[in-house]
Structure 1
Amino acid sequence: MSEPAVDFPENRDAIRAALIEWYEADHREYPWRETDDPYAILVSEVMSQQTQLDRVVDAWADFLDRWPTVADLASADRADVVAFWSAHSLGYNNRAKYLHEAANQVCEEYDGEFPESSEELSELMGVGPYTANAVASFAFNNGDAVVDTNVKRVLYRAFSIPDEDAAFEDAATTLMPGGESRVWNNAIMELGGVACEKTPACDEAGCPWREWCDAYQTGDFTAPDVPTQPSFEGSRRQMRGRVIGALKEHDRLAVDDLGPKVRVDYAPAGEYGREWLRSLLKDLSEDGLVETSQQDEKTVVRLQR
């Protein structure tokens, strides 16, 4: 596996384990996550394109009640499939046509058994690379790392991955543990959909990557799909980032030695002095990022271990 163009934290195994443990402990319950039937998963993936997942649940169940197997769908009248799609407000009726055609391909070209590789799945009508990889991952556990908008946002914020498709692909591939595409892709998409949304909910969702996340440490939660925050320069989140950066470089610093590295105008008794800095350190301490101790009558700060 190639190394990414950016530096990840050294303890990648801990990063992987933390995410999987978080996902397996508690995640949104969607019925297609409880099956490895490629037909049911394909239906969910096609329905979920540009449609909120909560709206898909009932439509997915109704669809499988009416056409429970790929053979049932293949033998159905295409007009009935399109009418179902329209009646359930799933949008883009051509997706219903493509799904019906794909069912016919599976029955006619693969004797009713879904191909297992992303490459072969991509040959099915209306099944692009993303959907093919999703079915390979969730049905057969042999897919590649998924890279959608949510995953890009997570990688950009957590590890400062450049906003470039190749960089995201490289980073996602490097992070995914081998042979675990089913749980990993579900987990990282869940992270982007629950904890790392456009408006982040790091603490509320118990994000498992807070201790490694660049955005959480700096307070800068911009992302490719989130506009840059114009007030970052001189903001409290910028100062938090400077504290973290200084302590990464120097291991530990007395408060009055740390101050000038955070603000050039730091003065112990000034507006941006000890009281201001201690308030900043208190926030970082409560977030589990730094710790303070007394040494030789001085307050010394270090990154929490």
Structure 2
Amino acid sequence: MTDADDVAGSGLADGDAPSLPADLEAVRDALREWYEADHREFPWRRTTDPYAILVSEVMSQQTQLDRVVPAWEDFLERWPTAADLAAADRSDVVAFWSDHSLGYNNRATYLHEAATQVETEYGGAFPDSPEELQELMGVGPYTANAVASFAFNDGDAVVDTNVKRVLHRAFDVPDDDGAFERVASRLMPDGDSRLWNNAIMELGGVACGQKPRCDEAGCPWREWCHAYRTGDFTAPDVPTQPSFEGSRRQFRGRIVRLLGEHDEMALDALGHRIRVDYTPDGEHGREWLRGLLSDLAEDGLVDVEGSGEETIARLRG
């Protein structure tokens, strides 16, 4: 099978993802393991109640998540079910929204109307597909898909700003909505929308934000990442290259962090850990790495002993 055949068979267009690895299962496993090992514990991630998840999604549209948590908990304490919300006075719901600074008050109105629809049109049972969920007042394609994913594990790949940033940086996906949707769909494992969409959004929120934290957050996609390899961390919502990213200062920081974790490291072992494209005789090889170590030695941070491939580096005590 040719590369063109593989692209056609995957539903991708030419140029959608120039850096997409052939072994997608390894990419998927790395992200799932990273997410399952440690992630932010938002309370709506511990429920599959579509009503509670819808409330969290609507609240999150214009409010930082750390502020959403107490508002979400207060809202559900006051109106714990869709039936309770539908029976409430709409002015009380709007007043709650305003008191908690949750953005446009019409979202409270839409949420109240959606709960009423669930009770009157669906017999109290939430619709479970993205298409049906969009019939609810104020529920657009993104919110419908999120509820279908997180409540029913039956959604499509979520493509929000965080996901676009991740795909653009990791796999060199062009800034095109169609390309993002095709690559996101290709990456998501079948029948696993709940965990996968949470995981890839967590990656964008924790490790691959506007200011990336690749090493600090232990990004699971570093070995495949186009941005990590090239040092270019621009993205659709990060139009200007941050001065730190891809700089010698960034790689010096990686060296110091690694040497802090090990008593000492050989030159090539260190190089492979700080750059995925490190090759001893390449552009970013031993000569380049010795230059960084020399800078750190002059600053009194690192001791370097030996020569050639026998070079050893350690933090200065």
Indicate the TM-score class for this superposition, using the shorter chain for normalisation: 0.7 to 0.9
CA drift at 1:254: 6.5
Aligned twin of 1:131: 143
Instruction: Report whether the alignment pairs 1:100 with 2:112.
Output: yes
What is the CA-CA distance between 1:275 and the residue it aligns to? 4.3
Percent of pairs with identical residues? 73
C-alpha spacing 1:47/1:282, structure 2 compared with 1 (3 Å): farther
- Inter-CA distance 175–230: structure 2 relative to 1 (3 Å threshold): closer
Residue aligning to 2:29: 17
* Counterpart residue number, 1:2: 11
| TM-aligned CA deviation for residue 216 of structure 1 | 0.8
Report the equivalent of 1:195: 207
- Which AA in structure 2 matches 1:158? A
- For the 8 Å contact 1:254–1:298, the answer to whether it is kept is no
| Correspondence for 1:292 | none
Question: What's 2:188 paired with?
Answer: 176
Could you give the per-residue CA deviations for residues 25-83 of structure 1, whole angstroms, max 9, x where no partner exists? Answer: 10000110000000000000000002100000111011111111100000110000001
- Structure 2: give runs of 5+ residues left out of the alignment: 1-9, 252-270, 296-306, 311-317
Tell me by how many angstroms 1:231 deviates: 6.6
Q: Does 1:44 align with 2:53?
A: no
SS of 1:120's partner is helix
Unaligned segments of structure 1, at least 5 residues: 263-272, 284-296, 301-305
Query: What amino acid is the match of 2:11?
Result: S
Relative to 1, partners in 2 of residues 1:253 and 1:114: Cα closer, same or farther, differing over 3 Å? closer
What amino acid does structure 2 have at the position aligned with 1:90? Answer: L
Shift of 1:227: 2.2
Q: Which amino acid aligns with 1:115?
A: P
Letter of the 1:218 partner, please give it. Answer: T
What residue is the counterpart of 1:303 in the other structure? none
Asked if residue 76 in structure 1 is aligned to residue 94 in structure 2, the reply is no
Q: 1:199 to 1:298 in 2, by over 3 A?
A: closer
Q: Is the 8 A contact 2:71 2:100 kept in 1?
A: yes
Structure 2 contact 233–242 (Cα < 8 Å) conserved: no
Please say if residues 208 and 214 of structure 2, whose CA atoms lie closer than 8 Å, have aligned partners that are also in contact. Answer: yes
Q: TM-score, normalised by structure 2?
A: 0.76
Q: CA deviation at 1:2?
A: 1.5
1:282–1:143 Cα change, 3 Å: farther
Is 1:35 matched with 2:47? yes
Match of 1:54 among 36, 60, 66: 66
What is the TM-score when the length of structure 1 is the normalising length?
A: 0.79
Distance 1:253 1:84 in 2: 59
Give the C-alpha shift of residue 11 in structure 1: 1.2
1:167 match: 179
**TM-aligned CA deviation for residue 218 of structure 1:** 1.4
Deviation at 1:276, TM superposition (A): 4.2
Shift in Å at residue 281 of structure 1? 9.7
Match of 1:289 in 2: none
User: 8 Å contact 1:176–1:184 — kept in the other structure?
Assistant: yes
Report the equivalent of 1:270: none
- 1:211 aligned residue: 223
Secondary structure of the 2:97 match is helix
Q: For residue 279 of structure 1, report the CA deviation from its aligned partner.
A: 3.3
Q: Deviations over 1:163-219 (max 9, x none)?
A: 000010011000000000000000000000000000011111111001111111111
Aligned residue number for residue 141 of structure 1: 153
Whole-Å separation in 1 of the counterparts to 2:289 and 2:65: 44
Q: What's 1:186 paired with? A: 198
Q: Distance in 2 between matches of 1:224 and 1:252?
A: 27
1:19 is displaced (CA, Å) by: 0.4
RMSD of aligned alpha carbons: 3.1
Aligned residue identity for 2:220: P
**Pair 159,253 (structure 1): closer, same or farther in 2 beyond 3 Å:** closer
1:204–1:76 distance in 2 versus 1, CA, 3 Å: same
Contact 2:231 2:247 in 1 (8 A): no
Code of the aligned partner of 2:17: V
